[in-house]
């Protein structure tokens, strides 16, 4: 699956880089990632 996080830039998950960090997109993508692993492992 592919998700596009509107307004999120490259490295949106990097919380040490304030210029691109997007807390909402990071939280949503992490939740989806953990869900993906939970379904498959």
Ramachandran assignment for 11, one of left (phi > 0), alpha (psi -120 to 50 degrees), beta (any other): left
pLDDT score at 7: 95
The enclosing H or E element of 39 equals helix 23-40
In contact, 12 and 20? CB cutoff 8 Å: yes
For the stretch 1-41, pLDDT in tens is 899 999 999 999 999 999 999 999 999 999 999 999 999 99
Boundaries of every domain in the chain: 7-41
Contacts of 11 (CB under 8 A, 6+ apart): 17, 20, 21
Token pair of 25, please? 């997109």
* Alpha carbon distance 6, 25 (integer Å): 8
Give the pTM: 0.84
Which pLDDT score, from 0 to 100, does residue 1 have? 86
């Amino acid at each position: 699956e592919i998700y596009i996080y509107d307004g999120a830039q490259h490295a949106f998950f990097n919380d040490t880089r304030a210029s691109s960090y997007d807390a909402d997109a990071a939280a949503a993508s992490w939740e989806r990632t953990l869900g993906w692993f939970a379904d498959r492992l």
